[in-house]
A and B are shown apart, each in its own frame.
Chain A
């Protein structure tokens, strides 16, 4: 059937949702397989023996792992709706900020939920968000007029994941007062015609985080 594209993912993972966003934006049909992380399938272990993680994309029988690597592969293979710009310098800039989100923002945000010195952790997370806010400037999306590579990699921040966690844990991370542009971007992100089809069901995600992080007391 067609090009035979399969995706192994987990419904609540921002990493596997990124891949779905890219595929849907490009109009690529794919078959989705939900993994149980407590009981990983033989196929997942076969296709990602190194990290044993989702997401894994399978194209014509060949597996690709690591969401940022998968996104670039998708962009190179299916030409409609480019995720990365054409210009090499702009591409380098997009890749730089995607790495920043993955390696600095997300760990700093997660750290707020576990750190003993919460005040310090929140300050550090704010510093990373400030840098992102400055990079966004007055653009509608990081990709410009429409969704791009960085927007997709920043789905944890733009989508409901961060909002839900900060509400449940009682953190003030992405606030309108401190980050008006990022908040506006986040609203554009979740209301984007294609992206909104790719986000996990709101209630289910909230309930999941409530169980995971407990209620504030």
Chain B
């Protein structure tokens, strides 16, 4: 009996990116359906009536919403390769703690950075962001990835946001390398993996997208 896996997606959503990477790491074949956020499909509204948001993973017709919930589901069902969570309960709890930290803290900075905050306000956002990224650097330590030798939950949770921060780097809003020197090499290592580079846009591609959007708004 073949598995039917559908992903209701939006290509630049950091939450959707997490799932695309996970599905690629596990070698799961799936159908990707790109949603238009101002014209949501009936399938999306039906599959996620509570939040009406992407991503939604639909496995054999059954929808799973919320990216970290879906990541846990993927890891439990396709448990034959590329474990996303450690097997030890304590280490698993720590991974969940840091993924929760990314969701609570990092995601709000991502929003604020793009909100057009200026001057003093922007400086505060940047400082808070770097404090949080430094904590995460501490958690990374000398490991190649948060998951150790391979990508794990925290890598997947943070990478899409870190990719977007790299775009700010290119715009000269700040220097990630100066403030959080472990983060850019970690981002680069992640993108060296095919499961990542083939699933999500690179910082360069995101940068090009933003430039294009800004230019088209300027007429």
How far apart are B88's CB and chain A's nearest CB, in angstroms?
A: 10
- B73 part of interface (Cβ distance < 8 Å): yes
CA distance A45 to B59 in the complex (A): 42
Question: Is B97 touching A66 in the complex (CB atoms < 8 A)?
Answer: yes
Contact of A99 among B66, B76, B92 (CB under 8 A): B66
A-side contacts of B96, CB under 8 Å: 66, 69, 72
Contact (A69, B93) CB under 8 Å given A50-B135, A100-B50: yes
Question: Is B69 touching A73 in the complex (CB atoms < 8 A)?
Answer: no
* Chain B residue nearest in CB terms to A62: B90
CA distance A73 to B91 in the complex (A): 10
B-side contacts of A59, CB under 8 Å: 90
- B23 part of interface (Cβ distance < 8 Å): no
Count A-B contacts at CB 8 Å: 55
CA distance A62 to B91 in the complex (A): 10
* Chain B residue nearest in CB terms to A87: B76
How far apart are A82's CB and chain B's nearest CB, in angstroms?
A: 14
Contact (A99, B93) CB under 8 Å given A69-B100, A88-B76, A92-B64: no
Question: Is B93 touching A72 in the complex (CB atoms < 8 A)?
Answer: yes
CA distance A91 to B59 in the complex (A): 14
Q: Specify the main secondary structure of chain A where it touches its partner.
A: helix
Question: Is A92 touching B72 in the complex (CB atoms < 8 A)?
Answer: yes
Q: Map CB proximity to B onto A95-127 as digits: 1 under 8 Å, 0 otherwise.
A: 110011000000000000000000000000000
Question: Is B66 touching A91 in the complex (CB atoms < 8 A)?
Answer: no
Question: Is A73 touching B72 in the complex (CB atoms < 8 A)?
Answer: no
Question: Is A65 touching B50 in the complex (CB atoms < 8 A)?
Answer: no
Q: Map CB proximity to A onto B84-104 as digits: 1 under 8 Å, 0 otherwise.
A: 000001101110110011000
B-side contacts of A70, CB under 8 Å: 93
How far apart are B141's CB and chain A's nearest CB, in angstroms?
A: 15
* Chain A residue nearest in CB terms to B139: A50
Top 6 A-B pairs, shortest CB-CB distance: A73-B93, A88-B76, A76-B89, A92-B73, A95-B69, A69-B96
A-B CB contact pairs (8 Å), 8 listed? A62-B90, A64-B93, A70-B93, A72-B93, A76-B89, A77-B89, A91-B72, A131-B50
For the A-B complex with A76-B92, A96-B66 known, give 16 more contacts whose Cβ atoms are closer than 8 Å: A50-B97, A64-B90, A64-B93, A64-B94, A66-B97, A69-B96, A73-B92, A89-B64, A89-B73, A91-B72, A91-B76, A92-B64, A92-B69, A92-B73, A95-B66, A95-B72
